[in-house]
Structure 1
């Protein structure tokens, strides 16, 4: 063998040796990232694709912003952004403050006092959550509008429903249950030892409530306030129906009225930044909150209200009247009027079919996709799985109008064939509501012992078999509960459906919006009532879990 060949052979061996060493180093790093328990390539690849798919709206809104020239930025910053900021923050501040006052008061009266009919109000105070705010806005316009019921009876109305305070009232009435349910759950878990220690130090119940109870409830109040605040920033239907202008409604009108995707993207970027800042602020406040030891085993002490009992009862009854009696009685009476005038016809059946089709397909896809996603998160802990999870949840945090904008830009550019089809609506539902299904399944899979799937692996079973034959049967109730949430929320989703629907593909939510916008309330009421009735079942499940 010649010297040149020997040198070439030695060099090749060195290259192969270095290649093997590099592979061993990368493999060692990979195992350390996953704590010596890496997932299969199939699950990781599938989860990564889903995460990128869910992150599409964020990516394309940001990319579209770079198309804005200096003149466009100057126009928006000079004349649009500041008024929208003031309008949106003012509404969010007022509604969040009012929902905290109402929600905390109801939770305390119902769970800790001798309020009359406590069990009834415990369920009734959560019922407004079954009424989408745009449906609630419809009922209040019918009663308090310029041509509403009160004007027909008394010749005047007590206030202008289309004013700032009218919008604030409607949004408060139909979002306070977020605070009520979360704070009620926290009150039921309070450790009574803190109250007894405060009583032994001579504090009155009033002092205990503000100095002890409210401090311990701060995390629950903060979380529920965040939900309400983010909802106000993201809501379009009710706010636009009541002729108030916020970031979400302005983005919608830029997209559908002026067809200006660049300006919509700039406004969306500001809204995303505001949303992110609010979430970061709430997380920092949560870290400063007080922790408590395990819940006391003793029965909760019921506080006697004495002479204030009937004053508290009047307050709770008044909230019940505003949030349940008015909307439900209006929907029922106007639905009967609509049915007698032929509202239930072939077109209405078509709206029902479209709603059921899109919601059912989105629900089935979410339920199937959820299984490997929650399996990756619960069984394979690393910063990679955490990044994948946060990307998936981005669609849940973002307002629906931003999600719609990102989907529109993406499909027009890369998949124009699918743009004017129901597929794009179903895609939006999946991006918006998949995290809801995952939340329910995550709670279920945490109860499944890890040694079950480890035993299946030791028997030579692959992860496809484990997911379908071991994990799914055990987390099936959680998957179905999450699927029910996806179905109901898809059924009543307005913003994304209104923006993305193809011609002739109207759903129940869209018809409520269209008929109400034209003043045909008797034709909007049956669709609205059907949406509310369907929404009550998962709400009852949620209340029972609480």
Structure 2
């Protein structure tokens, strides 16, 4: 977990340039400013979409509530680079919008802050939605009901009571969005918006490892700052009242229902239906014999194998880490828990860069890991280990230790107790963590670009190369295949968590 930080520091300290020359790198400070501006605007835009969605779903009886719940989370299925490609293919010159309407789109998408911001906001807003919706489900209804009895209307209740109590989960979700935006590589590269990840890849492509590592180190420092703020918010979020005795669910007038459903329809259309429609449009323009071939299905198979292997390794490390953090609560448990979450601090591009720099000359008993399947598996396992740990910890916290104590009092061994009592209760969290790592690995772009074995291709590489060549119609097939596999994993996660908990 510490390897990316170690390699970045080593490359910078061993650089041919001194630190002053590195800090005087051209476009360094404007690039940092653009990255922070994009992250901040994306978090704000995501909050304006996600908070009303969560509030309406948790507080009002609206038609097809479960369907809207799924649709609000569905943008997580779309990799950011596929969404960026779809908006570029829809609104760029001779794109979907211009071919249908005959008019050019009024806003520039490629090379602009607006296009990058729109794509990143629509993809990442579910992160804020999930935290806000979970907090609303835990809130005690007494304060809102008292305000309603005292004559306050719905808007006053929301602004004076509900929203102030949601400051911590909303801020925590926004910090996570900032973290994901800073670490994203695909969207800025496709839309030609020059952020830190854009320059890391450019310097790496030119063979300038020291400058690439310098930009990577700056990105790690910024990400560490956001991660520490998110950890602080998470600790405070645990102080929120947890009352699951009953939920507020108000009936609303036909006019209010129409307004709410219009808002949901607009947000779902922009975040899900428009990208999907664009992909299907370009799919219809292509030739099936060129799109569906052996190479495509081979790439899908390679991606699935990589995702399964990374998910297995991450889950195997997540279980003892979560157990030490929750049950042991010693110095080692705290250390393991903190170290496991470093994956959130290292973007995939930084991990890929570190692995290339380190493993190119590293071997064990004459065996080199460089350009083998082990490197992308290990890179993805490190990158997404925090997701597995969080999922397992969530299930472990909900298991009452007295059940295990009762089993041991009745004469069962510690092994038999864990096998018959703990393991079945822990299974949903383990499976959900496995699915989270699987779907994240399936979408991971920079690690597969930098660490893939020679001659072996993944769906993400296939999509990236075709987008780079502006082969929009040929991108559609691998994009649809990737979305289909991701949807299966997302359905499993929702079935394990959101839908069942909502019941």
**TM-score, normalized by length of structure 2?**
0.89
2:3 aligned residue: 56
Contact 2:137 2:247 (8 Å CA) reproduced: no
Q: What SS does the aligned partner of 1:126 have?
A: helix
- The whole-number CA distance in structure 2 between the counterparts of 1:369 and 1:238 is 31
2:55 pairs with 1:103: no
Structure 1 position 390, deviation (Å)? 1.0
Would the aligned equivalents of 1:125 and 1:320 in 2 still touch at CA under 8 Å?
Answer: yes
- Kept after mapping to 2: 8 A contact 1:216/1:290: no
Structure 1: gaps spanning 5 or more residues: 1-53
Which shows bigger deviation, 509-518 or 204-213?
Answer: 204-213
Aligned-residue offset at 1:529: 1.0
Q: Distance in 1 between matches of 2:412 and 2:248?
A: 51
Distance 1:248 1:457 in 2: 56
Residues 55 and 392 in structure 1, CA contact (< 8 A), matched pair in contact too: no
Higher RCO (C-alpha under 8 Å, 6+ residues apart): 1
The question of 1:355 aligning with 2:303 is answered: yes
Deviates more, 1:368-377 or 1:487-496: 368-377
Aligned to 2:171: 222
Give 1:361 deviation, angstroms: 2.0
Q: Distance in 2 between matches of 1:98 and 1:266?
A: 30
- Displacement of 1:391 in angstroms is 1.1
Partner of 1:396: 344
Aligned length: 491
For the 8 Å contact 2:395–2:426, the answer to whether it is kept is yes
Partner of 1:384: 332
Does 2:81 correspond to 1:130?
no
Q: Please give the per-residue CA displacement for 1:88-127, whole angstroms capped at 9, x wherever unaligned.
A: 0111111111110011112222332354544432222221
CA drift of 1:182 comes to 1.9
Partner SS for 2:368: helix
Distance change (3 Å), C-alpha of 1:367 and 1:118: closer
Q: 1:281 to 1:449 in 2, by over 3 A?
A: closer
Write the deviation string for residues 442-465 of structure 1: whole angstroms up to 9, x where unpaired.
Answer: 2333416377489779989787x8
Structure 2 residue aligned with 1:32:
none
CA offsets, 1:393-446, max 9 Å, x none?
212332111222222222124238221122211110111122322222223334
Indicate yes or no: 2:194 matched with 1:242.
no
Contact 2:75-2:123 at 8 Å conserved across structures: yes
Instruction: Give the deviation of 1:539 after TM superposition.
Output: 2.3
Q: 1:295 to 1:264 in 2, by over 3 A?
A: same
1:93-492 matches, cutoff 5 A = 93-153=40-100, 154-162=102-110, 163-255=112-204, 257-284=205-232, 291-295=239-243, 297-302=245-250, 304=252, 307-338=255-286, 340-415=288-363, 417-446=368-397, 447=399, 449=401, 452=404, 472=423, 474-492=425-443
Where structure 2 has 5 or more consecutive residues not aligned to the other structure, the ranges are 499-503
Kept in 2: contact 1:371–1:472 (CA 8 A) = no
CA–CA separation in structure 1 for the residues paired with 2:339 and 2:475: 37
The answer to whether the 8 A contact 1:91-1:232 is kept is yes
Distance 1:437 1:292, change over 3 A: closer
Tell me whether 81-90 or 200-209 shows the greater mean CA deviation. Answer: 200-209
The CA deviation string for residues 54-95 of structure 1, in whole angstroms up to 9 with x for no partner, is 221122222222123555642543523211111101111111
**Whole-angstrom distance in 1 between the partners of 2:466 and 2:460:** 10
1:362–1:427 Cα contact (<8 Å) kept: yes
Distance 1:418 1:474, change over 3 A: same
Aligned: 1:65 with 2:65: no
Q: For residue 245 of structure 2, give the secondary structure of its aligned residue in structure 1.
A: coil
What residue number does 2:450 align with? Answer: 499
TM-score when normalising by structure 1: 0.82
Q: CA deviation at 1:472?
A: 4.3
Bigger-Rg structure (1/2):
1
Q: CA deviation at 1:343?
A: 1.3
Change in Cα spacing, 1:362 to 1:122, as seen in structure 2 (3 Å) is closer
Contact map agreement 1:372 1:467 (CA 8 A) in 2: no
When the two chains are superposed, the root-mean-square deviation of aligned CA atoms in Å is 2.9
SS in 2 for 1:398: coil
- 8 Å Cα contact 2:220-2:345 kept in structure 1: no
Rounded to whole Å, the distance in 2 between the matches of 1:298 and 1:467 is 33
The superposition leaves residues 272-311 of structure 1 with CA deviations (integer Å, 9 ceiling, x where unpaired) of 1111222333455667779554426344141535644433
